[in-house]
Amino acid sequence: MKRFSFLVAISLLIPAALWAEETAAPAASSSDTASSAPAAAPALTETAPAPVSPAPAAEATTAPAADPATEVKPASETAPAEPAKPAAENLEFVSGEISAVDEANKSITVKLYGETENASKEKTLSVKLDTTTDITDGEKDRDLKSLTAGTEVDVEYDPATNKATYIFVY
């Protein structure tokens, strides 16, 4: 039984090895036998690329007309870019009590905590709010109308523009 299994395995491996040898060698050397040369010749003619006709000379030298919609303009001619959003490292964080709310101008004034210990005058900060300002009390979102004088808040804002990015209401 072992001899039969061995013979079957060899009978399957020999044709596979011969087929792999024929397909792996694309060109025959001068020392190959005549029987291997015809087998390689059909493979070469089957894989030959189709002839490519040269492009007309007029098309190669003529550039397409510029499309005004895709034309690249210098930076001085383009529309001004939108202002960059404040980076996280540029933001400052303060705590205090709201002293005034201006709904018409969408701004609040905050009396700052910790800044007035030795100062004769209270420190205040006015910040502007817009639709991107996140106002929350930790459980639900709030709006500008819910802010009143005397409310304790934490404010995250951009000192360059005095725009509030986040307000936490206590």
Q: Lowest-pLDDT range, 14-18, 25-29, 93-97, 129-133? A: 25-29
Structure-block tokens of residue 82:
């939108």
The pLDDT, as a whole number, for residue 146 is 92
pLDDT level of residue 54 (50, 70, 90 thresholds) = low
Residue 13 CA to residue 81 CA, distance in Å, equals: 69
Distance CA 59, CA 63 (A): 8
- Percentage of the chain exceeding pLDDT 90: 41
For residue 135, the cross-strand partners are: 167
Tokens 């303060």, residue?
94
CB 163 within 8 A of CB 134: no
Report residue 17: phi and psi, to 5°: -65, -40
Domain architecture of the chain: domains with CATH: 90-169 (2.40.50.320)
The band of 121, judged by pLDDT with boundaries at 50, 70 and 90, is confident
